[in-house]
């Protein structure tokens, strides 16, 4: 469009292919980086992205709950553990069996 307004002179196809290739490099890097991050979210190595159909599996599978070897869960999902040091209602009973 800019070439039609004569701001940028029109290019032949060979030069345009080179420009499109250079413009596509950041997009390609972004896709590879995000796929590796998703593999790490699942607790897998980034090399799993080269397995056929593994990317399709990652679309529907949940990540690891809690921390894994690659870091914390990006969604902040963790298992809830009961605090065994705090008294539960069954521990708070008087001598007659009544709950305090």
What tens digit of pLDDT does each residue of 34-48 get?
888 888 888 888 898
For the whole model, what pTM was predicted?
0.56
Specify if 98 maps to a domain: no
Specify if 86 maps to a domain: yes
Burial class from Cβ neighbours inside 10 Å (0-12, 13-18, 19+) for residue 46 reads middle
- DSSP states along 18-61: HHHHHHHHHHHHHHHHHHHHHHHHTT--GGGGGSTTHHHHHHHS
The rounded distance, in Å, linking the Cα atoms of 25 and 38 is: 20
pLDDT at position 26 is 93
pLDDT band at 30 (very low <50, low <70, confident <90, very high): very high
Average model confidence (pLDDT) for the chain? 75
Specify if 24 maps to a domain: yes
Of the candidate ranges 4-8, 46-50, 66-70, the one whose mean pLDDT is the lowest: 4-8
Range of the domain at 19: 13-90
Specify if 64 maps to a domain: yes
Specify if 100 maps to a domain: no
Decide if pLDDT at 89 tops 50: no
């Amino acid at each position: 469009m800019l070439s039609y307004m004569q701001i940028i002179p029109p290019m032949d196809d060979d030069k345009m292919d080179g420009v499109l290739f250079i413009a596509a490099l950041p997009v390609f890097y972004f896709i590879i980086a995000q796929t590796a991050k998703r593999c790490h979210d699942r607790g897998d190595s980034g090399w799993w992205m080269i397995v056929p159909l593994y990317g399709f599996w990652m679309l529907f599978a949940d990540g690891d709950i809690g921390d894994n070897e690659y870091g914390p869960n990006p969604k902040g999902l963790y298992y809830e553990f009961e605090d065994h040091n705090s008294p539960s209602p069954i521990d708070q009973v008087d001598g007659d069996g009544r709950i305090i």
